[in-house]
């Protein structure tokens, strides 16, 4: 790639689209080299550790260069696209996409390579708390042309079995030598192969290429690993055959049996979730308490509210009343809505409630929250929950919506389980798990009758919430769900 020193070229850098984020993955480009863009036009979509976000360009001009292909994780502050603000189209499009990690533009990939990298369909996103799956995992339509990206030149069969058909040998009698021996300044390999080599500790300059035009393949990298485990062969020795005994380090064993194992890179939402859960579980001493409650009257109230004109067009379900019950319980037990400040050794009591609702999406678990939920009327709360559902289904939940939560609800009952022991989101002191609502025999007014019953579980940070406080809050939630009229007398 040519270094651009023209004063008319503007470099657009990866912004921090959330508080303190350090990197983001480029999910999709909506423009390509030579396209004309205007100030505010969305040029790409990136995924951070919290959400997928569209990035608008702040310039008018012509796209001179795309610095990275789709699927690349880029540090905040790194240039990702170059715009010629003079309005002149580039003299010629780049002939080939460089593969240097710091500046790799998007280039057209062969049709076979594009087909080999088809992504499997994601599972239906489920809002944990609503009991309904999204009807579609499709994103909303985007404007702008589809941009093919350079992808790994391996077939689907190669990915599954770890072996692919031997490439055609253009010159059978010519010896194949590593790039360094052939005098090449840089070995030819595509980004996924370079990453594999880096992970396995293989110097590409020492690898014998077997791909067309001297391109190093995944199999070449694996062969190089095998060669380092066996006695050092001569430079011209043929690669180890598949039937030969292979000694593989334990860390790389999965590379040789891809049909039996699949390695999924930990990144994006999954990476953030893992780090947050480990940090929370090993920082806050968790205590979980349980209560089983008859919610028959609550379900009856739900059906009545559906007929109320104030709720026309709004989503009304048990979660709405469970959320309201928790808000009332917090009002009666305000010290449960707090956090632990380790640095200053203080308990931070919060006089507002940002109510988090855990949601399972194809990208992983997210917990958007309703800001100042304690100030909402029941219809307003229903509207906020409905909007949360829509944005979660469409993958449009913003980083801001997932920041600043104080208390969370997670509805594991939508998966048919009775309850769970949830882990606290970092910075929060309590999380309520709601189990499946089932028709069960229950003693009601001195007689055994079939009633709608569920089990609630409240996990809390025992550093600042004692058993008495946690028990009172959980008991209040249960009492409201058993006798919904307490929403009037206690609110």
Query: How confident is the model over 284-322, as pLDDT tens digits?
Result: 888 999 999 999 999 999 999 999 999 999 999 999 999
Which of 216 and 182 is assigned the larger pLDDT?
216
Q: Which domains does the chain have, with CATH numbers?
A: 9-107 (2.40.50.100), 163-256 (4.10.320.10), 268-489 (3.30.559.10)
Q: Give the mean pLDDT of 144-170.
A: 40
Flag the least confident range among 209-213, 409-413, 463-467: 209-213
Phi–psi pair at 281, nearest 5 degrees: -65, -35
Distance from the first to the final alpha carbon of the chain: 65
Confidence label for 90 from pLDDT (cuts 50, 70 and 90): low
Rounded Cα–Cα distance for residues 341 and 323 (Å) = 26
Q: How far apart are CA 222 and CA 202, in angstroms?
A: 9
Would residue 462 show up in a list of annotated catalytic residues for this protein?
yes
More confident residue, 340 or 277: 340
Per-residue pLDDT, averaged over 343-365, amounts to 89
List the one residue out of 55, 54, 150, 62 whose CA is nearest residue 100: 150
Q: What is the average pLDDT across 266-293?
A: 81
* pLDDT value for 255: 54
Per-residue confidence (pLDDT) for residue 187, from 0 to 100: 76
Please tell me the least confidently modeled range out of 60-64, 195-199, 297-301, 413-417: 195-199
Closest CA to 350 of 426, 266, 305, 406: 406
Comparing 455 with 77, which gets the higher pLDDT? 455
What share of residues in the chain are helix, strand, coil (percent, to 5)? 30, 20, 50
Which of 103-117, 186-200, 298-312, 462-476 has the least mean pLDDT? 103-117
Highest mean pLDDT among 48-57, 178-187, 327-336: 327-336
Lowest-confidence segment of 166-175, 335-344, 363-372, 392-401 by average pLDDT: 166-175
pTM of the entire structure?
Answer: 0.55
Per-residue model confidence as pLDDT tens digits over 128-154: 433 333 333 334 444 444 444 333 333
Determine the pLDDT at residue 112.
40
């Amino acid at each position: 790639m040519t270094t651009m020193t023209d004063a008319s070229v503007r470099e657009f850098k990866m912004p921090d689209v959330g508080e303190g984020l350090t990197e983001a993955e480029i999910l999709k480009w909506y423009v390509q080299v030579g396209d004309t863009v205007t100030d505010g036009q969305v040029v790409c979509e990136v995924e951070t550790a919290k959400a997928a976000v569209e990035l608008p360009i702040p310039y008018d001009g012509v796209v001179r260069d795309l610095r990275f292909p789709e699927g690349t994780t880029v540090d905040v502050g790194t240039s990702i696209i170059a715009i010629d603000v003079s309005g002149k189209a580039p003299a010629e499009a780049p002939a080939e996409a460089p593969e240097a990690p710091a500046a790799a533009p998007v280039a057209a990939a062969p049709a076979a390579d594009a087909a080999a990298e088809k992504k499997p369909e994601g599972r239906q996103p489920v809002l944990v708390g609503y009991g309904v799956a999204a009807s579609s995992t499709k994103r909303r339509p985007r404007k702008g042309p589809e941009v093919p990206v350079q992808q790994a030149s391996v077939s689907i069969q190669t990915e599954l079995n770890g072996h692919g058909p031997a490439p055609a040998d253009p010159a059978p009698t010519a010896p194949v030598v590593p790039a360094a021996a052939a005098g090449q300044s840089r070995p030819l390999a595509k980004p996924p192969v370079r990453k594999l080599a880096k992970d396995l500790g293989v110097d590409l300059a020492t690898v014998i290429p077997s791909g067309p035009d001297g391109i190093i393949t995944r199999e070449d990298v694996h062969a190089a690993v095998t060669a380092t485990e066996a006695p050092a062969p001569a430079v011209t020795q043929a690669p180890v055959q598949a039937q030969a005994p292979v000694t593989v380090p334990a860390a790389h064993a999965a590379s040789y049996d891809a049909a039996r194992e699949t390695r999924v890179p930990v990144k994006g939402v999954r990476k953030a979730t893992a780090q947050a859960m480990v940090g929370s579980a090993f920082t806050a001493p968790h205590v979980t308490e349980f209560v089983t409650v008859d919610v028959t009257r609550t379900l009856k109230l739900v059906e009545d509210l559906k007929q109320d004109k104030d709720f026309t067009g709004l989503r009304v379900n048990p979660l709405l009343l469970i959320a309201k019950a928790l808000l009332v319980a917090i009002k009666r037990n305000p010290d449960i809505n707090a956090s632990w400040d380790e640095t200053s050794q203080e308990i931070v009591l919060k006089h507002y409630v940002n109510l988090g609702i855990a949601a399972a999406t194809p990208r992983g678990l997210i917990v958007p929250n309703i800001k100042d939920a304690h100030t909402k009327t029941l219809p307003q709360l229903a509207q906020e929950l409905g909007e949360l559902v829509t944005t979660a289904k469409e993958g449009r939940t913003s980083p801001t919506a997932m920041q600043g939560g104080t208390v969370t609800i997670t509805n594991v009952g939508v998966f048919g389980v009775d309850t769970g022991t949830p882990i606290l989101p970092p910075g929060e002191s309590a999380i309520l798990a709601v189990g499946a609502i089932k028709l069960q025999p229950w003693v009601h007014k001195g007689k055994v009758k079939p009633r709608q019953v569920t089990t609630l579980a409240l996990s809390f940070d025992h550093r600042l919430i004692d058993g008495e406080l946690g028990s009172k809050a959980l008991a209040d939630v249960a009492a409201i769900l058993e006798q919904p009229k307490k929403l009037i007398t206690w609110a």
